[in-house]
Structure 1
Amino acid sequence: MRMYIFEQRQERCVGLTSELRSAGIELQFVTEDFFQNGLGPLLQPGQQTNAILLGECSDIRGHIRALRSAGCVNPVIVLRDFRNAKDTSDLLNLGADDVIVSPIRGTEVLSRTNSIIRRHYGHAAESVIVGELTAYFDGRDPIVSGSRIKLSKREYSVFQHLALNSNKVISKDAIYDAIYGASIDQPFDKVIDVYICKLRKKLASASHSGWQYIETVHGRGYKLSSPELPTEVV
Structure 2
Amino acid sequence: MMHIYVYEPRDERIGGLMAELGAAQIVPVRISDAFFEGDLGMLTLEGHSSRPFLLADSALVIGQITRLRGAGCRNPIIILRDFRNTRAAAGTLDCGADDDLVIPLRAIELRARINSITRRAHGHAAPSLNIGEVTAYFDGRDPEVAGQRVFLSGREHAIFQYLALSASKVISKAAIYEAVYGLSEDQPFDKVIDVYICRIRKKIAAAAVSGHGYIETVHGRGYKISAPEQAGYETGDTLLPAPADSGALTYSSGMTIETAAQ
Structure 1 and Structure 2 fold alike (TM over 0.5): yes
Structure 1 residue 43 displacement after superposition: 3.0
Structure 1 residue 137 displacement after superposition: 1.2
CA distance in 1, matches of 2:56, 2:130: 36
CA distance in 1, matches of 2:193, 2:116: 26
Q: Match for residue 23 of structure 2?
A: 22
Structure 1 residue 146 displacement after superposition: 1.5
Quick check: 1:41–1:182 contact (8 Å CA) kept in 2?
A: no
Structure 1 residue 90 displacement after superposition: 1.1
CA distance in 2, matches of 1:24, 1:10: 22
TM-score, structure 1 length as denominator?
0.92
Q: SS at 1:216's partner residue?
A: strand
Quick check: 1:4–1:53 contact (8 Å CA) kept in 2?
A: yes
CA distance in 1, matches of 2:78, 2:18: 14
Say which one has the larger Rg. 2
Q: CA RMSD in A?
A: 1.8
Structure 1 residue 26 displacement after superposition: 1.4
Tell me how many residue pairs correspond in the alignment.
Answer: 231
Q: Match for residue 166 of structure 1?
A: 167
Identity of aligned residues (%): 54
Structure 1 residue 40 displacement after superposition: 4.6
| Greater alpha carbon shift after TM alignment, 17-26 vs 114-123 | 17-26
Q: Match for residue 59 of structure 2?
A: 58
Gaps of 5+ in 2: 234-262
Quick check: 1:3–1:26 contact (8 Å CA) kept in 2?
A: yes
CA deviation string 1:71-104 (max 9, x = no partner): 1111110001122222111111101110011221
TM-score, structure 2 length as denominator?
0.82
Gaps of 5+ in 1: none
Quick check: 1:133–1:145 contact (8 Å CA) kept in 2?
A: yes
CA deviation string 1:47-67 (max 9, x = no partner): 111111111312211111111
Q: Match for residue 129 of structure 1?
A: 130
Alignment of 1:1-234 (within 5 A): 1-12=2-13, 14-37=15-38, 39-227=40-228, 228-230=230-232
Quick check: 2:132–2:231 contact (8 Å CA) kept in 1?
A: no
Structure 1 residue 198 displacement after superposition: 0.3
Q: SS at 2:100's partner residue?
A: strand
1:185 and 1:14, CA in 2 relative to 1: closer, same or farther beyond 3 A?
A: closer
1:188 and 1:230, CA in 2 relative to 1: closer, same or farther beyond 3 A?
A: farther
CA distance in 2, matches of 1:109, 1:16: 12
Quick check: 2:29–2:183 contact (8 Å CA) kept in 1?
A: no
Structure 1 residue 152 displacement after superposition: 0.7
Quick check: 2:5–2:53 contact (8 Å CA) kept in 1?
A: yes
Q: SS at 1:33's partner residue?
A: helix
CA distance in 1, matches of 2:231, 2:172: 18
CA distance in 1, matches of 2:111, 2:17: 10
Amino acid at match of 1:52: F
CA distance in 2, matches of 1:79, 1:38: 24
Structure 1 residue 174 displacement after superposition: 1.9
Amino acid at match of 2:22: R
Amino acid at match of 2:222: G
Q: Match for residue 259 of structure 2?
A: none
CA distance in 2, matches of 1:153, 1:7: 26
CA distance in 1, matches of 2:120, 2:226: 20
1:10 and 1:107, CA in 2 relative to 1: closer, same or farther beyond 3 A?
A: farther
Higher RCO (CA-CA < 8 Å; seq separation 6+): 1
CA deviation string 1:196-215 (max 9, x = no partner): 11001100111122111111
CA distance in 1, matches of 2:189, 2:13: 37
CA distance in 1, matches of 2:100, 2:10: 18
CA distance in 1, matches of 2:31, 2:216: 38
